[in-house]
Amino acid sequence: MFRYRHRRRQIDVLKKNSIKVAFVGNPNVGKTALINALSGSNLKVGNWPGVTVEKKEANIVINNQTFSLVDLPGAYSLNPFSLEEKITRDFLINERPDLIVNVVDSNQLEKSLFLTFALSEFEIPMVIALNFFDEMVKNKTEINIKKLKDLLSVEVVPTSGVKKIGIDALKEAIYKAINERTLPNILFEESLDKKFKQIKDMLKDKKDQLGYPLSFVAARVLERDNQMINELINKKLIDKSILDLTVDNSTYIESRYKFISSICKKILVKHKDSYDLTQKIDSILLNKFLGLPLFLIMMFIVFKLTFDLSKPFVDFTSYFINDYIGKYVVYSLWFLPDIFKSLIKEAIIGGVGSVISFFPLIGIFFLFISILEESGYMTRAAFLIDKLMSSIGLSGKVFIPLILGFGCNVPAIYATRGLDSQKDRLLAGLMIPLMSCSARLPVYLLFTAAFFKSFKELIILGLYFLGALIAILLVILLQLAVPSLKTDSTPFILELPPYRIPPLKFLLKLTGFRVKSFLRKASSVILFTMILVWSINSLPYNAPVGESYLAQGSRAIAFVFAPAGFDKWEAVATLLPSIVAKEAVIGTLGQILEGEQNSTTEAKSAEEYNFADDTSKVIEKFKDSFIEAGTSLLNFFTINSFQEKEKNESLMNRLRTLFTPLSALSFMIFILLFVPCMVTISVFIQEYGMKWTVFEICMLLTISYSVSTLVYQIGKLFIH
Amino acid sequence: MVLNKALKNKRYRVVDIKLDEKLARRLQELGIVKGGKIHMIRKAPLGDPIHICVNGQNISLRNSVCSGIVIEEDK
């Protein structure tokens, strides 16, 4: 019977098109780098369904057989504590991979083996990859691989994903394990082993009714897992008498650790205390006095490099797509009526352009964030700043996405992926649009220059603080209102991994994959928004600015904004374009207030089509953007993106006829708190789903309206 | 005494873990088990959390968790 089953399974496996191999290991053991090394460049980065945890997959071929490798989220145990661990456990139970590659940090064998032992209970063939083996050799430690292999009855391969060591040997081991299908030994200390076998014997006959692998069930019963025991009692598979064979789970874990350390004593020879270097670096980076200043400097550098280095390239890409590609695409479509040319140029090419112009920013940002994550500093940052964030019920890591939000909300929302709990991820996401991004600054600069000359810095600073303050209040209120957000599901337990220098090639590859997924997912929402906004703004076609649907609609709803002090349709008309990009508020105001003397129709007839000239101009601008990026690095202590644009006196004069200082303040607050730009929205949908996006938009509409109304009404009391 | 009172750079032994089951279990899985050793490394600059070393692994724990971990000096 057994032999027959065994053979049948083997045939099944070989017949199937691809063999599922799950990579499981503790966090920070280099799983991704190992898969990357195994697969060359086939790594695919996506999300696990319904959650914001990154899913990485790759296909490889060994001896004409396709293997699909899945990188399961890092786990310390399979008794899920975090979302990542739940995904990993559910995958092992529901998807039943054909093989587990247990990636182990050779330098922390004792800790890693705890998971290995838990994995053995799933009755899935296994290969152990002793990763970071090169580091271990450097640390003058030896592992008796043969003994470990015999003990667990699995293939054990020394590897280094980063240095590409042992990759072929690992492939061979995977192939061998799949074909031999030997299951790993399940090891316990003597007294528990006896009980484990007894439980297993009792359940053996009902094996097919258990719903889980036999050994997995037996182990859960052994450690008195009430959920499992109740399930079995309900199914009438066991009765209460089985409890005599169980132990409480702390005894179970203690026994397992004792057993593991006895194994480690047999197979490990340490010649030196490892991780000296990490301790030394920590004594500086986590120092009582130096720790926080160094952290702030580090944040400043990341912020500065991300936004300043990318800005010239963002400007260039936007110019290249809109003014070069757009111009000539429209030129080549001369046979189309003007209205379609306008749609193609402004909505479609403009939309594609705005996605692509985010490339340099997102790319540089992902690169830095991967460096922080992979080097091990990210968890240190959380350690340093945790106390501040814990006062509002969040973990220290949340600080980083929030700070990035002041530069641009889009990468900030991506950065929430690195947070440890679903709760932190969601709350941080809801807070980020309230962080005043650098695209909102030009609006403040224009309005403060027009209305608050003498104390404009104070007003701008105040706006930044207001956004942050409202975000904090929001998080506190949400936790009070939604109980599931309040229960701290993952109390702050953080592993501080050893410092490692991440290999540049790997970082670049990872960044490339993440940028690609941004392009794929952001485009549809953005195109939709662009076409919508274009239709409202440009139709009826060739009508004067004051007669477009946008103007008509704004006139109709302007009264709604009377309590907030800006019921002029010209002001209301900027709100819709502000969803395309925040700085569009200024462009729209300019267009409406200064008439059309220098825009569309006239400019169009004056436009010259000289392809050669324009091409050399593009090349010139491309070169310039490198020079600009270079100089921005030299002027290290000024943040370019915050520099004032040239003043436009005539626009400011017209603004003064439209707003009073108080209504201007109320308008700036409204822009600060209003619905974020479409790129942020599309990323938000990507990360948190439609439901939370709708929630966030409704909430921001309410907040922006009520706060600016409040400010205007209170202000009016003081002025009278 | 509890882990909050641990002194920098000293070694301790875990006597008891008085925390809810789920949390206690996670600590045990990380090697913080009764009878196990804890090396107190430092407190964060703002006083919370703390940085300890267990089985050669660096772990950071909030004070609220530490107050449930009973320890004694390891001689």
Q: Which domains does chain A have, with CATH numbers?
A: 2-180 (3.40.50.300), 190-274 (1.10.287), 297-719 (no CATH)
Cβ of B56 within 8 Å of Cβ of A387? The answer is: no
Residue A712 in contact with residue A662, Cβ under 8 Å? yes
Write the residue in B45, B58, B65 that is nearest to A491 by C-beta.
B65
Domains and CATH numbers, chain B: 3-73 (2.30.30.90)
Residue A511 in contact with residue A367, Cβ under 8 Å? yes
| Closest alpha carbon within chain B to A118 | B29
> Which residues in chain B touch residue A491, judged by CB atoms under 8 angstroms apart?
23, 62, 64-65
Write the residue in B31, B47, B49 that is nearest to A257 by C-beta.
B31
Which residues fall within 8 angstroms of residue A288, CB to CB, at 6 or more apart?
B42, B43, B45
In the block, residue with structure tokens 């209170």: A714
| Minimal CA separation from A289 to chain B, in Å | 7
Beta bridge partners of B53: B39, B58
> Which residues in chain B touch residue A289, judged by CB atoms under 8 angstroms apart?
45
| Closest alpha carbon within chain A to B26 | A81
Q: For CA atoms A188, A190, A196, A200, give the dihedral sign.
A: positive
Task: State whether residue B18 sits within 8 Å of chain A by CB.
Answer: no
> Which residues in chain A touch residue B28, judged by CB atoms under 8 angstroms apart?
249-250, 253-254, 257
pTM: 0.80
Structure tokens at A366: 């992902």
The confidence score (pLDDT) of residue A479 equals: 87
Distance from C-alpha of A667 to C-alpha of A692, rounded to nearest angstrom = 26
pLDDT along chain A (720 residues), means of 10: 39 62 91 88 68 79 90 88 85 93 91 93 95 87 92 94 90 93 91 92 88 92 90 87 87 90 87 71 93 89 80 86 86 84 82 79 82 86 88 84 84 81 87 89 86 84 92 91 67 82 82 76 75 80 77 86 87 86 81 58 58 87 88 66 58 86 93 91 89 94 95 88
The confidence score (pLDDT) of residue A607 equals: 64
Residue B23 in contact with residue B65, Cβ under 8 Å? yes
Cβ of B25 within 8 Å of Cβ of A76? The answer is: no
> Which residues in chain A touch residue B35, judged by CB atoms under 8 angstroms apart?
254
> Which residues in chain A touch residue B30, judged by CB atoms under 8 angstroms apart?
76, 111, 493, 495
In the block, residue with structure tokens 């001896």: A63
Best to test chain B binding among A280, A380, A493, A495 (most B CBs inside 10 Å): A493
Residues 45-74 of B with CB under 8 A from A: 45-49, 51, 55-62, 64-65
Structure tokens at A401: 């996405």
Annotated ligand binding at A94? The verdict is: no
Best to test chain B binding among A257, A388, A489 (most B CBs inside 10 Å): A257
> Which residues in chain A touch residue B66, judged by CB atoms under 8 angstroms apart?
none
The confidence score (pLDDT) of residue B7 equals: 92
Cβ of A253 within 8 Å of Cβ of B44? The answer is: no
> Phi first, then psi: what are they for A548, rounded to 5°?
-65, 165
**Cβ burial A697-710 (10 Å sphere, 16+ → b, else e):** bebbeebbbebbbe
Annotated ligand binding at A646? The verdict is: no
DSSP code at position A563: G
Q: Which residue in A435, A465, A466, A455 sits closest to A661, CA to CA?
A: A455
The confidence score (pLDDT) of residue A10 equals: 43
